[in-house]
Structure 1
Amino acid sequence: MENLHDKIVEALKTVYDPEIPVDIYELGLIYDIKVIPPLNKVHLLMTLTSPNCPSAEQLPEDAQRAVELVEGVSDVEVELTFDPPYHQDMMSEVAKLELGFL
């Protein structure tokens, strides 16, 4: 299960917000990843940088498609939330460094 979780994270790191040159995982847009056995269904809880994000429809679809390609994953459900609201502190140090915040 842990290995599958790591593969899912790696898949999510291939999805970029088109307005920010950092992937959605490092940006902190992924709040939770649940792998539900025995069929390895995946539930992603994610947010956007703002409710008015121009990529509001595209980013969740891109995340779903990326995870669907992970070997061993049978199904992917993406839940979009704005609670808690996104803020820059949710970014990883990698993202902050990339964007010049460190």
Structure 2
Amino acid sequence: MEPEINMAELGEKIVEILKTIYDPEIPVDIYELGLIYDVFINEDREVKILMTLTSPNCPVAESLPLEVEDKVKSFSMIKDAEVEITFDPPWTQELMSDVAKLELGML
């Protein structure tokens, strides 16, 4: 029998993983940049991440979602992970956290 999993803690661990992934053009992690719109976790520990890119023509449009998927999947408590890209709503600088804005000298 598998141990009971605290979904809130699991969500926090996933956020920690997302904070290790950086946009190659902006020296801020994708979570603080506001590229992650939502993280869904079901009882089977399958994760779906809804994210965007800074623009539809982003040079890492192919590789960044795969990096996110691979890093989340590599966490032992996750059975599977899938990333869905959306541009609705489109990313704007207003989606960045204060941490990201401070890092970029915008505060």
Larger Rg, first or second structure (1 or 2): 2
Q: Does 1:69 align with 2:74?
A: yes
Partner of 1:36: 42
Letter in 1 for 2:78: V
Query: Where does structure 1 lack aligned partners over 5 or more consecutive residues?
Result: none
Cα root mean square deviation, aligned? 0.6
Partner SS, residue 25 of structure 1? coil
2:19, 2:50 → 1: CA distance?
15
1:28, 1:62 → 2: CA distance?
17
Which portions of structure 1, spanning 4 or more consecutive aligned residues, are displaced by more than 4 angstroms? Answer: none
Letter in 2 for 1:85: P
Query: Where does structure 2 lack aligned partners over 5 or more consecutive residues?
Result: 1-6
Identity score, percent: 61
Q: Does 1:83 align with 2:78?
A: no
Q: Deviations over 1:43-88 (max 9, x none)?
A: 0000000000001111101111111122310000100000000000
Letter in 2 for 1:76: A
Partner SS, residue 79 of structure 1? strand
Letter in 1 for 2:63: Q
Count how many residue pairs are aligned between Structure 1 and Structure 2.
101
2:71, 2:12 → 1: CA distance?
13
**TM-score normalized with structure 2 length:** 0.92
